[in-house]
Amino acid sequence: MDLRSPVFTFLVGAAILVATGAGAFVLVRDADILALRLPTKPLAPTKHALETPRDAVEHFQCNRCHVVPGIEPASATLSANCVTCHQAITAGRLDLWYKDAEVQRWKEHLTHLMRTPDLASLGQRVKRSWLVSWLQAPHAVRPLYGATMPRMKLGPRDAELLADFFHVTEEDAHEPPSGDAAAGRQLYEKYACATCHFRADAPPEAPAYGSPEFRTAPARRRAPDLKHVRARMSLAQLRQWLRDPRAILPDTQMPAFAFTPKEVDDLAAFLREPIPQKATAPRAPYKPRLLEREVHYPEVAKKLTRHLCYHCHSDSRRAGDQGPGNSGGFGYAGVSLDLATREGILRGIQREGQFRGLPDRLEDGTPRLVASLIARRAELEGHHHPAVLGMPLGLPPIPDEDIDLISTWIEQGAPR
């Protein structure tokens, strides 16, 4: 019997339902996945007033992307957790339910959100002051990782509560490094640290979504830019990390080099040296180019909305979680923005009970959707637009030619 035949699928599903009893597992197929899902509570109930560290973790849905100690994992529902769904695809757990060509296409496209940082040992790896500041205005720490911390509507008290939950208390003891920075530089070169790490020499412009740079070796993709070391880690944290990184983060790809105590001090002194900051003004926002041809919705859907946007802005007719950009999440209230269908794009965002509709232009005439795509590149450089949230949220900016495509489509009246 063909393992992908409707009959076989029905028999397997029926057997599982009978074996588990009382419908404990439910067979679900939607726009994203076909999987067996355990019944679970809502991913993270939101509260108007955040009073405790746990309130903050649940409200901002840290467990939508991360495994959070003491919080029910979002992986109980694959459709509510990007990382778990991507891991299920690559592990072959969904092979049974889809045609080979379809599954293979997903596996070839999967690049981002295959894993996220372990938060259990966060207090051993970052300073509190850095974390509190970074949570409010996240920027890229790992230049080739692609996915970044999403920008959330998060204030100073919210950030302090999150730091409390993860037991991040460390600050600098204002102890000057005791090592020899020149000797540390020699060690940095001897052990070829630049094979994986940048140190203020990353490309000035973040790679765009789909860039081949995101296919580099995993160790290089996960490696942070060491220009952030001084701000991000205390001297004590840095020394401990250099001694035995896997004692702090077991799944790290940073090798243990068995440095002597003097070598640890020397490397720490070098890595903590101030790096001259180049004064750079923010680049002018990209100005989309209108294409000299007609653009139709199927091309927009294939290259952008159904390929990327719908993960957070799913079809409004879909049951359950429709993504943070539609039904709400990451601390944002739902705005009912469906980017999975042409009808949903035309309807636009819902504010105060009314849909704004496409193109929903800013004061300068730029359609809000286009402005969000343009703003994402500036966010990665630490420049945040006060009224526009960069998209795609937490992912690399899309290529300029794709911005041209959707801008042209909108200006042409969104042809079918």
138 in a domain, yes or no?
no
Residue 280 lies inside a defined structural domain of this protein: no
Q: Which of 116, 133, 168 is the last residue of a domain?
A: 116
Displacement of CA 126 from its chain's centroid (Å): 19
| Whether residue 208 sits in one domain with residue 105 | no
Last residue of a domain, one of 95, 116, 137: 116
**Nearest C-alpha neighbor of 36 from the set 1, 75, 7:** 75
For residue 249, what is the domain's CATH number?
1.10.760.10
Same-domain status, 29 and 106: yes
As given in the structure block, the two tokens for residue 139 are 């920027």
- Token pair in block for residue 331: 């601390």
Residue numbers of the domain that contains 358: 297-411
Q: What is the pLDDT of residues 103-129, one digit of tens each?
A: 888 888 777 877 888 898 999 999 999
Q: Decide: residue 91, CB within 10 A, 0-12 exposed, 13-18 middle, 19+ buried.
A: exposed
Span 7-35, average pLDDT: 39
Per-residue model confidence (pLDDT) at position 382: 78
pLDDT at 348: 93
Q: Is there a single domain that holds both residue 346 and residue 251? A: no
Q: Is residue 380 part of a domain?
A: yes
Same-domain status, 305 and 265: no
What are the backbone angles phi and psi of residue 333, rounded to the nearest 5°? -70, 150
* Domain assignment of residue 290, yes or no: no
Question: What gap in Å lies between CA 127 and CA 171, rounded to an integer?
Answer: 5
Reduced to 3 states (helix: H, G, I; strand: E, B; else coil), residue 28 is strand
Q: Tell me how crowded residue 155 is: count the other CB atoms within 10 A of its CB.
A: 11
What is the pLDDT at residue 276? 82
Q: Is residue 65 part of a domain?
A: yes
Does residue 331 fall inside a structural domain? yes
Angstrom distance (rounded) from CA 293 to CA 310: 25
User: Is the same domain home to 219 and 303?
Assistant: no
Helices 156-165 and 128-136: angle between axes, nearest 10 degrees: 130
Q: What is the mean pLDDT of the chain?
A: 84
User: Model confidence at 30, in pLDDT bands (50, 70, 90)?
Assistant: very low
Domain co-membership, 361 together with 319: yes
- Same domain? For 332 and 238 the reply is no
Do 160 and 262 have their domain in common? yes
Q: Look at residues 100, 116, 132 and tell me which one is the last residue of a structural domain.
A: 116
34 and 99 assigned to the same domain: yes
Amino acid at the residue 334: G
Contact 57, 159 (CB under 8 A): no
Lowest mean pLDDT among 234-248, 275-289, 321-335, 360-374: 275-289
Provide the domain count of the chain: 3
- Looking at the structure, tell me whether residues 398 and 305 fall in a common domain: yes
Residues 249 and 309 grouped into a single domain: no
Residue 202 lies in a domain: yes
Q: What percent of the chain has pLDDT over 70?
A: 85
pLDDT over 60 (residue 34): no
Domain-located, residue 148: no
Please report the sign of the dihedral spanned by the C-alpha atoms of residue 103, residue 105, residue 106, residue 111: positive
The C-alpha atoms of residue 373 and residue 323 are separated, in whole angstroms, by: 18
What SS3 class is residue 242? Answer: helix
